[in-house]
């Protein structure tokens, strides 16, 4: 049986190169075309020696494929994706260009007017744990951002069950690869090593995406989100700690309430292969290189606040792995195909 021919637009970024690595051993597809304007004409294995097994030349334009991933930055991605979708191709876009349903949000948060607002209604937000059937039927999937994936999965069960008040705090830490591969002073080794810093305090671009999806989980009680990201000196990983006041009387006090939370979260994610609900606070290393999101729900000392810790690899479940998860559903393949590797340790 012929494998599906897959193309990667912008293989030279971190998300694109991670897509190529994960797809190399995927039994249902074959990467047949990769683009990267800065490296066009070069062998993929010359630019990235660890990908030498993919005997491909990096092209300036995508060749003939059956399915495409776009790993371009925002604004640039939409320009490439729009003609592909209009031509009938199935696409997963890893940028933010189709995540927000309100076209008016793009000038505010991303600095451009959306060139095809009618496609925002067509695009399905690619969080399989919430939109499994819609993704399976989709032509265009907007892959979620890394921070939103960790936060939405952490809070979804509590919001859906009406356990918490709408004022939510999300404190997230990310490794440096989340900033992308483009050179910048703020991600130089000497700048980030032995340092932790908060950034985007005036509002991170992922905030409207988080609010959009959390409000869909809590339509009768719109959320108010304080989201503060931090840069920490490691390559991969996101750890989010989410806080919200519990509604009075919704769970029992003390250990019984914590057990109720575990039951709620475990039941919500039952049968969802890439969310692991655990009974001890997880480490980012527990997800290094794999497609899991690990979640630990608990309460504060006084039993009045929900506290949820979630962690994931920002390049896998936060980008390329989740994109492949979406592709699997869109191609009627088992969701876990090509994504069953364990985390790398140490």
Tell me the pLDDT tens digit for each residue of 109-152.
Answer: 999 999 999 999 999 999 999 999 999 999 999 999 999 999 99
For residues 339 and 321, what is the distance between their CA atoms, to the nearest angstrom? 7
Going from the N-terminus, what domains does the chain have, and what CATH number goes with each?
Answer: 4-144+318-330 (3.40.50.720), 147-314 (3.30.360.10)
Low-confidence ranges of the chain (pLDDT < 70): 1
Active site (catalytic) residues: 146
The residues with which 180 forms a beta bridge, in sequence order, are none
For residues 92 and 127, what is the distance between their CA atoms, to the nearest angstrom? 12
CA atoms within 13 A on the CB side of 255: 0
pLDDT of residue 336: 98
111: left (phi over 0), alpha (psi -120 to 50) or beta: left
Q: Which one, of 110, 338, 340, 121, lies nearest residue 207 by Cα? A: 110
pLDDT of residue 183: 82
pLDDT of residue 1: 65
pLDDT of residue 2: 82
Tokens of 173: 């830490």
Backbone angles phi, psi at 278, to 5 degrees: -125, 165
Q: How many C-beta atoms lie closer than 10 Å to residue 16's C-beta?
A: 25
pTM here is: 0.97
Backbone angles phi, psi at 265, to 5 degrees: -65, -40
Sign, CA torsion 285/193/207/163: positive
Cis peptide before 346 (omega within 30 of 0): yes
Q: How many C-beta atoms lie closer than 10 Å to residue 255's C-beta?
A: 10
SS (H, E, C) the chain: CCCEEEEEECCCCHHHHHHHHHHCCCCCEEEEEEECHHHCCCEHHHHCHHHCCCCCEEECCCCCCCEEEECCCCCHHHHHHHHHHHCCCEEEECCCCCCCCCCCHHHHHHCCCCCCCHHHHHCEECCHHHHHHHHHCCCEEECCCHHHHHHHHHHHHHHHCCCEEEEEEEEEEECHHHHCCCCCHHHCHHHHCCCCEECCCCCCCCHHHHHHHHHHHCCCCCCEEEEEEEECCCCCCEEEEEEEEECCCCCCCHHHHHHHHHHHHHHHCCCCCCEEECCCCCCHHHHCCCCCEEEEEEECCCCCEEEEEEEECCCHHHHHHHHHHHHHHHCCCCCCCCCCCCCCCC
């Amino acid at each position: 049986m012929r494998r599906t021919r897959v193309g990667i637009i912008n293989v030279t970024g971190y998300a694109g190169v991670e897509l190529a690595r994960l797809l190399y051993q995927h039994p249902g597809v074959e990467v047949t075309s990769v683009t990267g304007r800065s490296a066009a004409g070069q062998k993929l294995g010359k630019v990235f020696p660890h990908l030498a097994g993919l005997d491909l030349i990096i092209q300036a334009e995508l060749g003939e494929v059956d399915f495409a991933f776009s790993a371009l930055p925002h604004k640039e991605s939409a320009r490439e994706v729009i003609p592909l979708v209009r031509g009938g191709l199935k696409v997963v876009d890893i940028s933010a260009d189709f995540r927000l349903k309100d076209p008016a949000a793009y000038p505010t948060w991303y600095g451009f007017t959306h060139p095809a607002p009618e496609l925002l209604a067509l695009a399905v937000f690619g969080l399989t744990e919430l939109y499994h059937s819609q993704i399976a039927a989709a032509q265009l999937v907007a892959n979620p951002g890394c921070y939103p994936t960790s936060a939405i999965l952490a809070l979804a069960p509590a919001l859906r069950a009406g356990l918490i008040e709408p004022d939510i705090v999300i404190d997230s830490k990310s490794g440096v690869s989340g900033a992308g591969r483009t050179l910048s002073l703020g991600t130089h080794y000497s700048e980030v090593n032995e340092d932790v810093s908060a950034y985007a305090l005036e509002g991170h671009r992922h905030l409207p995406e988080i609010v959009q999806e959390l409000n869909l989980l809590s339509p009768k009680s719109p959320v108010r989100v304080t989201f503060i990201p931090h840069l920490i000196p490691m390559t991969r990983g996101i750890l989010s700690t989410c806080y919200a006041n519990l509604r009075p009387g919704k769970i029992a006090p003390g250990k019984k309430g914590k057990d109720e939370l575990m039951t709620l979260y475990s039941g919500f994610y039952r049968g969802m292969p890439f969310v692991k609900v655990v009974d001890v606070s997880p480490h980012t290393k527990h997800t290094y290189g794999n497609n899991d999101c690990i979640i630990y729900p608990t309460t504060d000392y006084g039993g009045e606040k929900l506290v949820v810790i979630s962690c994931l690899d920002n390049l896998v479940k936060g980008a390329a792995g989740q994109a492949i998860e979406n592709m699997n559903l869109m191609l009627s393949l088992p969701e876990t195909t090509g994504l069953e590797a364990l985390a790398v340790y140490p």
